[in-house]
Chain A
Amino acid sequence: MAVQLWQVLDLLLAGLTLGLGWAAVSSPDLRRSVVFFIAFGLLLAVVWARLQAPDLALAEAAIGAGLSGALLLSALRDEPDITMVGDVRVGPVAALISLASLTLAAVFAWVTVHTLGAADPTRLADQITAQLPDSGVGNPVTAVLLNFRAYDTLLELAVLLAAVLGILALGPARAPYRAAGPLLDGLIRWLVPLLILTAGYLLWVGAHAPGGAFQAGAMLAAAAVMLRLGGHAGAGLPQAPTQRILLTAGIAAFVAVGGATVATGHAFLQYPEGWSGGLILLIETAATLAIATTLALAYIGGRPPGWGSEGSADTATKIGGRD
C-alpha cells in the first residue's frame, strides 16, 4: 500500500515535470515561460530529493530555480519588448534546435536503458563508500567534488570565472532598482543576515552532510540579489579591487593547494595524509566567496561602478577611476 502511494507521487512528479517543462518552452509569453521555468526548477529539486540526492536538490533549488529565475526576470525587466525576439520559435532555427534536443534525449534514454540493463555494473557509489574514510570528509558528494575529482571542480570554477568575465565585458551594470519601501526594507534587513548565517552553516556542514561551496555561495548570492532588489545598486558587494580578489579566490586557493602538494612531492591536488579535511575546508571557503561574487556580479549584469571607465561617473571618481 505504502509503496503504491509513493509510486503515485513519483508518477505525478514525473508528469508535472514534463508538463511544466513543455509549458516553459511552448508558452508564447516569455514572462509566463520564466515563471514556468522557476516552478520547473523547484519541482526538479523535489525530484532530486525523491531520488535521495539532497545535495543536488539544494543546488537545483538555490541555483537552478532561485538564481537562474532571478537572472531571467531581471533580463526581462531590461528588455520589456523581448517577446518580439521570441519568434525564433518557428522556422528553420527552431526545427534545428528541436531536432538536436530530441537527438540528445534519445541518446540519453539509450544510454540509461543500456546502463540499467547491464549484468554486473561497476557501481561508483561502492568505490566511493570504500574510499570515504581516506577523503577527510564524511559527505560522499563533497569527497568526490573536492578530493577524488577535485580537478573537475577546479575547472568548473574556471568556467564560472570565464562566464563572469564575459558578463563584465558586456558593459556597465544594469540600472539599479528603486529604493525599497519600509516593508521590503524590513524583510531584507531581516533576511540578509539570516542568509549569510545559512551560507556559513551550509559551508561548514558540507563536510559531513548535504551542503558545500556551491550551495553556500548561492545563499550568499541570494543575499546580494535581495539587497539589489531593495535598491542597493552594488548588491552589498565590496569595492571593485576586492571583488577582483574574491572572483579569483576559488581558483587561487585550488592552484595554491595544488602547487603546494606538487612541491611536497605529491601529485597535483593529492592531499597529504591527515591534511585533507583542512585543505578541503580552505578551498571550499575560498570557492564559496568566489561563487557568491560571480553569481552576484552576474545578477548585476555588467561592470559595477569602479571596474572601469564605463562605470557610472559618480562612483568611478569616488574610487579613483581605476583602469
Chain B
Amino acid sequence: MTELIGILFVAIGIAFFVAGSIGLLRLPDLHSRLHALTKADNLGLGLLCAGLALIDGGVLNAVKLFLIWVLVLAASAAAAHLIAQQALRQAGK
C-alpha cells in the first residue's frame, strides 16, 4: 500500500518536472521562466523524494532524501534569486 502511494507521489513529482520544463521552454521572458522552473522543480523534487522514501520504507534513507530536498531547495532558491537580480541589473544598464 505504502509502495503504491510512493509510486503515485513519484508520478505526480514527474508531472511537476514536465510542467516546469514546458514552462521553461514556452514562457515569454526570463522572470516567468524562472518562476515556472523553480516552483515546479522544488515541489516536483519534494514529491519525488517523499515517494522514494515511501517506496524504500527505511527511516535513515528517508532522512537522507529529505536533506537532499532541503539542500536543493536552498540552492535553487538562491540561484533563481541571483539570476533574476543579475537580469534586473543588466536591464537597468
Contacts and interface: CB of A to CB of B under 8 A. Distances in A.
Interface of A: 181, 183-184, 187, 190-191, 194
B interface bracket (residues with beta carbon within 8 Å of A): under 10
Interface centre among B74, B78, B81 (most CB of A within 10 A): B78
B85 A187 contact: no
A181 B85 CA distance: 10
A183 B75 CA distance: 11
A183 B74 CA distance: 10
Given A183-B78, A194-B71, 10 more contacts: A181-B85, A183-B82, A184-B78, A184-B82, A187-B74, A187-B75, A187-B78, A190-B74, A191-B74, A191-B75
Contacts of B74: 187, 190-191
Contacts of B71: 194
Contacts of B85: 181
Contacts of B78: 183-184, 187
Contacts of B75: 187, 191
A191 B85 CA distance: 21
Label chain B's interface by main secondary structure.
Answer: helix
Nearest to A187: B78
Nearest to A181: B85
Interface string B76-88: 0010011001000
Nearest to A190: B74
B66 to A, nearest CB: 14
Interface of B: 71, 74-75, 78, 81-82, 85
Contacts of A184: 78, 82
A181 B82 CA distance: 9
A34 to B, nearest CB: 16
A267 to B, nearest CB: 42
A284 B77 CA distance: 35
Contacts of B82: 183-184
Nearest to B67: A194
Top-5 shortest CB links A-B:
A187-B78, A183-B81, A183-B78, A184-B78, A187-B74
Nearest to B74: A187
Nearest to B85: A181
Contacts of A190: 74
Nearest to B78: A187
Contacts of A181: 85
Nearest to B75: A187
13 contacts: A181-B85, A183-B78, A183-B81, A183-B82, A184-B78, A184-B82, A187-B74, A187-B75, A187-B78, A190-B74, A191-B74, A191-B75, A194-B71
A282 to B, nearest CB: 29
A194 B70 CA distance: 13
A199 to B, nearest CB: 15
B84 to A, nearest CB: 11
A183 B82 CA distance: 9
A187 B85 CA distance: 16
